[in-house]
Amino acid sequence: MAEVSGRWPVRQRKVVILVNQIKSLQGKFVYCNSRHVPRNDIKFAFKLAKDAILSQINRTAESSRTKDLNETCVICMEENDVSQIFSAKGCLHRYCFSCMKQHVEVKLREAQIPKCPHEGCKTELDIDSCENFLTPKLLELMRQHIKEAATPVTERVYCPNPRCSFLMSKTEVLEYSKKDQIDVDRLGARKCVKCNSLFCVDCRVPWHRNMSCSNYKRWHPNPSLEDAKLKVLASKNMWRQCRKCNLMIELAQGCNHMTCRCGYEFCYNCGAEWKNKKATCSCPLWAEANIWFDGNREFDEEEEEEDEGVEFYNSDLDD
């Protein structure tokens, strides 16, 4: 702030008003240093004042732009550069890459298709939008889960090669095998679309050349080592196998009425089929050890037929 000294062709009262205005302006600055300049240097004083005002304006604008380039993630509550913020397609909820990577990785490890982490949002994440923060290994795992979810259980075929185990649909592997001029109509031979190894689609084993499926099963009555391990584990944990699609099922909680992903309904206790929502056996509907009740929520009879507590295991997988 600069004061001008010299002769003033004004009255004393106006001078007092001017001084008071100057003091008032001084209080609005963070730092203010008064300087007295001669009349012939008045232009210099105006230049100083103008430069000071411009510097304050530029500093405010720069601070505003810097703030706009950052965004706070509502999960970790940390500020991140906008280039490190993920926006879900469809719902446009936004989270930082670090939180999204952890969220998606946990869902993939649980064999689930990851969705937007916003509470109540059901938007499924696609692979393209996750390429910025997922590793190539996690991206491949996500592709596999998406493909598995899109393929009906009864259509799923896994390569029996322990080093492959690639998921295919029956239609996909059939068309691929026809391209190699394999007599798929007469034989059960198929060719894996990934490792190109031949296998029997009926026996789910590597191709048994010059041997029919019935002869193979007669000469190999015992299951493979991997299948034997799975059956021992299933017996130990009291898992049940769906008679229609051979999926291994575990009852986590709820009634004995099971509905498999393929649609087959059966009794978890004895394996008897349910028809028209009615049991064909005399087993009890409930086992006390499997009942879970939330005292803060009224019981709904329709919920007893929901299968949220059912976990599935694929007996065709070698891993």
Helix (H) / strand (E) element for 55: namely: helix 42-68
Domain boundary among 117, 132, 147: 132
Residue 238 lies in a domain: yes
What CATH number is attached to the domain comprising 106?
3.30.40.10
Looking at the fold, whether 208 and 242 belong to one and the same domain comes out as no
Of 221, 238, 262, the residue that ends a domain is 221
> Does 121 share its domain with 178?
no
Is 139 within the bounds of a domain? no
The answer as to whether 113 is a domain residue is: yes
Regarding pTM above 0.85, the answer is: no
CB burial of 3-26 (b: ≥16 within 10 Å; e: otherwise) equals eeeeeeeeeeeeeeeeeeeeeeee
Q: What is the per-residue pLDDT for 295?
A: 45
- Reduce the DSSP state of residue 86 to 3 states and report it: strand
Task: Give catalytic residues, as residue numbers.
Answer: 255
Q: Among 221, 256, 278, give the residue marking a domain's end.
A: 221
Task: Give the per-residue pLDDT at 101.
Answer: 92
Q: Per the structure, how many domains does the chain have?
A: 3
- Per-residue pLDDT of the chain (319 residues), as tens digits, is 444 445 555 556 666 776 777 777 777 777 677 666 666 666 766 677 777 666 666 655 555 555 558 888 889 898 888 888 998 888 888 999 999 999 998 888 777 888 999 988 888 888 888 888 889 989 988 888 888 888 887 788 888 887 888 888 888 888 888 887 777 666 788 889 989 888 888 888 888 888 888 888 888 777 667 777 877 887 888 888 887 767 778 887 778 888 876 678 889 888 888 888 888 888 888 776 666 544 444 444 444 444 444 444 444 433 3
- Inside any domain, residue 4: no
Is 205 part of a structural domain of the chain? yes
What pLDDT was estimated at residue 99?
92
206 exposed, middle or buried (CB, 10 Å; 0-12, 13-18, 19+)? middle
How confident is the model at residue 12, as a pLDDT?
67
- Quote the CA–CA distance of 146 and 189 in Å, as a whole number: 27
Residues 160 and 208 in one domain: yes
Domain of 182 in residue numbering reads as 156-221
Sequence-ordered list of residues with C-beta below 8 angstroms from that of 134, at least 6 positions apart, any chain: 101, 104, 105, 142
Same domain, 234 and 217: no
Closest by CA position to 166, among listed 153, 155, 157, 177? 157
pLDDT of 214: 84
Q: Are residues 248 and 193 part of one domain?
A: no
Q: Is 208 in the same domain as 259? A: no
Instruction: Say if residues 292 and 303 touch (Cβ distance below 8 Å).
Output: no
Please indicate, yes or no, whether residues 210 and 256 belong to a single structural domain of this protein: no
Q: Which residue has the tokens 């004061």?
A: 3
| Cα(179)–Cα(172) distance, integer angstroms | 11
In a domain, 28, yes or no: no
Asked if 97 and 127 sit in the same domain, the reply is yes
Question: Is 3 among the domain residues?
Answer: no
| Residue 315 within any structural domain of the chain | no
Cβ-contact 130, 104 below 8 angstroms: yes
What is residue 304's predicted lDDT score, i.e. its pLDDT? 42
